[in-house]
Copies of this chain bind each other. A is one copy, B any other.
């Protein structure tokens, strides 16, 4: 073993001793409202990037803010290299990826405290949790890695492997600049493996490495019928209602059995292996075990697949937003001119986002009355992804996680989309190990997002161990 157990223990003890300082540091970045999809927060995104740049420099890295220009909104990348990462060195070279941007906070009224005023509180079960937008997704998770590096540097003066860091500011708003940025900087960013911290544990107590991810194709649809809002008494029945047209078009995207109706939607998809299904059914013995935290019990997707299969390895279609007519208090008998929906498809390996976008648009167009019009806005697309099972880093990382948590680490799927995994494979030819410490009840993207103090603490310790273990792959 490249790293002695005495050294490893010393670094882990440093993590434990400095937890309060680590939390304070996380709170600093959580206070910056870096909502990437809202133009009003562009300056906050840059401020968060600058904070991260400083954090990397504090670790002794050379760090730069890098403007991106291929697509809007153009929030900068943060790139850092540890000194050893740039010179000649036999040790493995890891590129860590995370993102400093966060989701919007609406509806604000459902937050128990302001979303950018982080708090450490005890939940009903007595567990200590950090509550803030970005606590879990992804600022808290990014900080587990940076604090692990800090502990290594504090104790040994160096890192056990060569480390570069890439932090993105557009993960929550399409991330169209990441791939061209990777392509333009292949020489600089080429490492041996990519580490991503943006996923969840396999379950509350079982660490996991996510080896499959769903991709996503998202569209905004605006249907217009009349040229202006009408009185539903004067025109109702005779004038086409764009909300009704939209509901009709959206209602026919799914069959009664939960399948998606777009032609060719399931072409090219592989069924999960029996062993994988067995492992997952051990983690989630029934549908309620996944859904109970959401207050639900019955899987709503395709019949014949368990709830966890529906989210980890089956594609889906979700309406993420809908709007039209009068939405305020009371009633208004308007027959609106327009109606809008935001629709996303989670994709699995084998599905082509571009082709599905076209079939979706054709489906909507086919539902339009002759005198209605539709406008589509694309909101990003990425295919599903699977990690190669024979990666020489995968086994080492699983072992390190098992050591920290005291139970065998699992390989799991994720229903979420982390485009970076596919993009680093395409642009840099690298596998990505997706290791995260979030929990399903962390309410990411929702009001009162949280990150367990245990997730944060053991997350830092986990990275300390993973960095040590990867040194053995040299």
Residues on A lying within 8 angstroms of B by beta carbon are 37-39, 103-104, 106, 110, 172-174, 200, 214, 216, 218, 220, 225-241, 243-244, 246-248, 250-252, 254, 258, 287, 290-291, 294-302, 307-308, 310-311, 314-316, 318-336, 339-342, 344, 346, 369-371, 379-380, 414-417, 440, 443-448
Q: How far is the CA of A377 from the CA of B397 in the complex (A)?
A: 55
How many copies of this chain does one complex carry? Answer: 2
13 extra interchain contacts, Cβ-Cβ under 8 A, other than A236-B318, A323-B324? A104-B326, A106-B326, A232-B316, A233-B415, A241-B319, A250-B251, A296-B371, A298-B370, A321-B334, A322-B324, A323-B323, A327-B342, A331-B344
Given contacts A225-B296, A331-B220, A379-B330, contact A234 B444 (CB under 8 A): yes
Q: Among B233, B241, B248, B330, which residue has its beta carbon within 8 angstroms of that of A214?
A: B233
Given contacts A324-B321, A371-B296, contact A446 B229 (CB under 8 A): yes
Closest-CB distance, A417 to chain B (whole angstroms): 6
- Whether A329 and B291, one on each chain, are in contact in the complex, defined by CB atoms closer than 8 angstroms, is no
Closest-CB distance, A173 to chain B (whole angstroms): 5
Closest-CB distance, A53 to chain B (whole angstroms): 25
- Whether B295 and A237, one on each chain, are in contact in the complex, defined by CB atoms closer than 8 angstroms, is no
15 contacts between A and B (CB under 8 A): A216-B233, A227-B296, A228-B447, A230-B446, A238-B301, A238-B310, A240-B298, A243-B250, A243-B319, A248-B251, A297-B371, A321-B336, A323-B323, A323-B327, A327-B342
Q: How far is the CA of A307 from the CA of B302 in the complex (A)?
A: 41
- Whether A106 and B328, one on each chain, are in contact in the complex, defined by CB atoms closer than 8 angstroms, is yes
| B residues less than 8 Å from A339 (CB atoms) | 322
Given contacts A296-B240, A301-B237, contact A333 B216 (CB under 8 A): yes
Closest-CB distance, A135 to chain B (whole angstroms): 14
The residue in A324, A330, A443, A445 that gathers the most chain B C-beta atoms within 10 A of its C-beta is: A330
Q: Among B296, B298, B335, which residue has its beta carbon within 8 angstroms of that of A318?
A: B335
- Whether A331 and B237, one on each chain, are in contact in the complex, defined by CB atoms closer than 8 angstroms, is no
- Whether A332 and B321, one on each chain, are in contact in the complex, defined by CB atoms closer than 8 angstroms, is yes
Q: How far is the CA of A341 from the CA of B264 in the complex (A)?
A: 32
Q: Among B237, B295, B416, which residue has its beta carbon within 8 angstroms of that of A234?
A: B416
Closest-CB distance, A303 to chain B (whole angstroms): 12
Q: How far is the CA of A148 from the CA of B393 in the complex (A)?
A: 90
Across the interface, name the chain B residue whose C-beta is closest to A107: B229
- Whether A234 and B415, one on each chain, are in contact in the complex, defined by CB atoms closer than 8 angstroms, is yes
- Whether A251 and B240, one on each chain, are in contact in the complex, defined by CB atoms closer than 8 angstroms, is no
| B residues less than 8 Å from A172 (CB atoms) | 332
| B residues less than 8 Å from A416 (CB atoms) | 231, 233-234
| B residues less than 8 Å from A448 (CB atoms) | 228
| B residues less than 8 Å from A37 (CB atoms) | 328-332
Q: Among B216, B258, B322, B346, which residue has its beta carbon within 8 angstroms of that of A243?
A: B322
